Chain A
Amino acid sequence: MSANRQTKETFIPDFDPIDTFVTPWSTHAEIAWNGQIVTMGILVCLACGLVGSFIVVRKLALMGDAISHGILPGLALAFIIMKSWALFPMFFGACVAGLLCSFCIEWLQKKSILKPDAALGVTFTTFFAFGVLLIAMYGGNAHIDAECLLYGEIGLIPLAESLSLGGVDLGARPIVSMFVVTVLVIISVTVFYRQLMVTSFDFTLAKTLGLPVTLIHYGLMLLLALTIVSSFEAVGVILVISMLIFPSVTANFFFRRMPAILFCSLPLSFVYSIGGFFLARWLDCTIAGAMVLVASLCFALGWAFGPNGGLAWQLLDRLNDKPGNKNARSEGCAVEGQ
């Protein structure tokens, strides 16, 4: 029986360039299938990267973690009320729960003696536990469980049901919804760029300018919730968190200005998605996991060789013994504002 099945004798299989790079694209069916996987990966990384850049500069890196777990009760309630996996109630439920979760975190932070990280931990675990309970009590044959939320399967995206509008086949539903969300993220980031920047870097200035600080904060949280909801099905929430954080921190080793860091999400999303796909092909493992491994690899490369605070450059400065330079570099680690 095992003659037909590739058995793994070694931990790391031999690298076969033809099998890794060419075979996945040899038939129409495979091009269509793998193309959809890579496209979905790019869309997820791009949307997460753009939103994530603002989340990271606001020192809310783990807010993604919180919201991605906090949406579970929303999904569960949407399912219990609607009795189906319908798209819009699910989106709506998840976004409301995500916003509520971020609201509770803010509120706890302001009204109690809890530190921000503790407030975050208290809130999202409560939300998640509530969601698990709801599913256990009323979910029954809800085809959602905590596991389905935590680990997605990007490889099965091509089999998702098609979405058609007026008789035109638009493609697999997760890809279409992810595409819409990505466009929405790009538009909002472009339109509200100034507001997002000022509130992220200079809270006092933003208040003096009379900007609706709270509204902008929750707008960003809504965007974050939307991104997470549309991508968790594909890559699972644990990997969404890494996609939120990795692009901006990696770009930070190369660029100091926010626009450049935001723009870096695009090439990085291609590298993560395509690189992850080929790595998974080579190692014969799950694709989403390989994508994050590639992201970590890029981060390590940036940390080692990035001109903005990279280890190699620090070493070079120390060898040249130029104290002025050294100061400049260490200051340069932080992202600058306008």
Chain B
Amino acid sequence: MNTFISLTRNFFQPSFFAWKFSFAIVMLAMGACSEKPDHENEIPLVVVTTTHLYDLVDSLAGERVQVLSLMGPGVDPHGYKPTSRDLSSLAKADLIVFHGLMLEGRMGHALEQADKKGIPSIAATSDIPQALLLSSSEEGTDGHDDPHVWFSPEIWSVCVNTVMNKLIELDPKSEAEFRENAQVTLRQLEEIKVWSLDQVRQIPPERRKLVTSHDAFRYLGKELGLEVIGLQGISTSIEAGLADRANLVDFIKKQNIPAIFVETSVNPAAMNEIAKESGVFIGGELFSDALGPPGESVIGPEGKSFDLDSWGGMMVHNVSTLVKGLGKKE
């Protein structure tokens, strides 16, 4: 033990030296912060946060850029935590496209800052006119806007243009191609909008009520004339209270709602219990905060096939599930 004590004494003597040394390292590391990314001759890397944005950027510039999505299918953006590799891809990105409107929570703020730090970044929702946005809660007390704008073809087309302009800025040579792709995408939005309205008209008006886990579908409801009731609030991070549950069960019984729906990115346990208590069946899974898995498809307007991991497939799947669950007119 004596050896250790003497070791210790010697150890402490040069400590000021060591501290100075560590300061030098810290200073060096800080000096390195001001470096800018330098890889221009490769194809640009566009990092996006959600699956919706992956689909959007991929359909606009699939060939011209490399697209990387941080969140996979079935990931809830409200509770997403970036992993080490996700962060490295952000460091390498030539453009970051994120959703905005607080969908990514605190990460959204950090990504906004990236623009000032030399990594171009844009919120896809940044150009949406305020008048089109819904407030997150009916009381409108906390002033957030509902971020689930992809359910409205009208608003999503604004996002398409925002992202297109940013992509043109990134790669001006491919402007014509981006514009052409955007036209195709916008035509598809319009086509699906018309088809969805047509489908929903088959549901008897008194049954046009969508009961689901969280308040994600209010734009869809507004678009299609459905009444939307969510168990949880706008963010999935706040658990529903007991009173909310009891109210919802009463509501379902009173309104004679035939089916309620669960979401792929939210734990279905609570909705299953509510279905049991109120004696209705689960009408199916809806895609809310994330698109579907790759490799599966659904038949949409005019017998065309849509991939579930695309915006079109998501809309077609959701609308057909709703129509099937709530029942057509006899």
Contacts and interface: CB of A to CB of B under 8 A. Distances in A.
Given A38-B29, A156-B82, A158-B117, A332 B110 contact: no
B36 A29 contact: yes
A46 B32 CA distance: 21
Contacts of B276: none
Contacts of A159: 90, 110-111, 113-114, 117
Interface string B11-43: 110010011001001100110111111110000
Interface residues of A, number: 68
Interface in A296-335: 307-308, 328, 332
A156 to B, nearest CB: 4
Contact of A286 (B81, B107, B142): B81
A141 B144 contact: yes
B314 to A, nearest CB: 12
B72 interface: yes
Contacts of B37: 27-29
A7 interface: yes
A179 B28 CA distance: 13
A214 to B, nearest CB: 29
A198 B186 CA distance: 74
Contacts of B18: 263, 266
A143 B105 CA distance: 8
A333 to B, nearest CB: 12
A140 interface: yes
B150 interface: no
Interface string A65-84: 00000000000000000000
B35 A29 contact: yes
A1 B85 contact: no
Contacts of B39: 27, 29
Given A159-B111, A266-B19, A2 B72 contact: yes
Interface stretch (B62-70, B248-256, B318-326): B62-70
Interface centre among A1, A156, A263, A290 (most CB of B within 10 A): A1
B261 interface: no
A36 B26 CA distance: 9
Nearest to B141: A140
Nearest to A255: B8
A31 B110 contact: no
B305 interface: no
Contacts of B107: 153, 156
B29 A143 contact: no
Contacts of A277: 84
A3 B68 CA distance: 9
A305 B142 CA distance: 56
Q: Is chain B's binding surface mostly helix, strand, loop or mixed?
A: helix
A14 interface: no
A62 B47 CA distance: 41
A39 B110 contact: no
B129 interface: no
Interface in A195-239: none
B222 interface: no
A1 B84 contact: no
B5 interface: yes
A155 B117 CA distance: 15
B113 A27 contact: no
A156 B111 CA distance: 9
B116 interface: yes
A332 B1 contact: yes
A111 B297 CA distance: 69
Contacts of A257: 5, 8-9, 12
B106 interface: yes
B35 A34 contact: no
Contact of B88 (A34, A169, A255): A34
B130 interface: no
Nearest to B112: A159
Given A27-B38, A284-B83, A153 B106 contact: yes
Given A1-B294, A175-B33, A263-B12, 13 more contacts: A1-B58, A28-B38, A31-B32, A33-B87, A34-B91, A37-B87, A156-B110, A171-B30, A179-B30, A186-B19, A281-B85, A286-B81, A287-B84
Interface of B: 1, 4-5, 7-9, 11-12, 15, 18-19, 22, 25-26, 29-30, 32-39, 51, 54-55, 58, 66-69, 72-73, 81-88, 90-92, 106-107, 109-111, 113-114, 116-117, 119, 141-144, 237, 291, 294, 309
29 contacts: A1-B69, A2-B72, A4-B66, A5-B72, A23-B88, A28-B38, A29-B35, A32-B35, A32-B91, A35-B33, A36-B32, A36-B33, A37-B87, A141-B143, A145-B237, A153-B81, A155-B84, A156-B106, A156-B110, A158-B117, A159-B111, A159-B113, A159-B114, A175-B33, A257-B9, A263-B11, A286-B81, A307-B4, A308-B1
